[in-house]
Amino acid sequence: MSTDLESPLTGIIAEENVVIDFGEHEGKSVFEIQVTQPIYYKFLLQEKEKGNFYIRRSKDKIFRLYIHDTPIN
């Protein structure tokens, strides 16, 4: 059951409550990325579609977004 309030990236968790926990955008919220870096936001959507993506709630009760490392051949 989808509503207008759901994010295509984070689902029912509000984008401003999910923090990126890797790379050059570490510490920024997904909402901030959507507004300021739309190309990177599209990359995150593609990674979600591939299943190469997860959100975890840490001990400090912050939702953190991770991308699985891909093996280098």
- pLDDT tens-digit readout, 15-64: 999 999 988 999 999 999 999 999 999 999 999 999 998 999 999 999 99
Q: Which residues contact 64 (CB under 8 A, 6 or more apart)?
A: 18, 19, 20, 21, 55, 56, 57, 58
Domain that holds residue 24: 15-67
Residue 37 lies in a domain: yes
Total domains, the chain: 1
In a domain, 36, yes or no: yes
**Confidence category of residue 4, pLDDT binned at 50, 70, 90:** low
Beta-bridge mates of residue 64: 19, 56
Tell whether 34 is covered by a domain: yes
Partners of residue 65 on adjacent β-strands = 20, 55
Using an 8 Å Cβ cutoff, are 9 and 54 in contact? no
pTM of the model: 0.81
Indicate whether 47 belongs to any domain.
Answer: yes
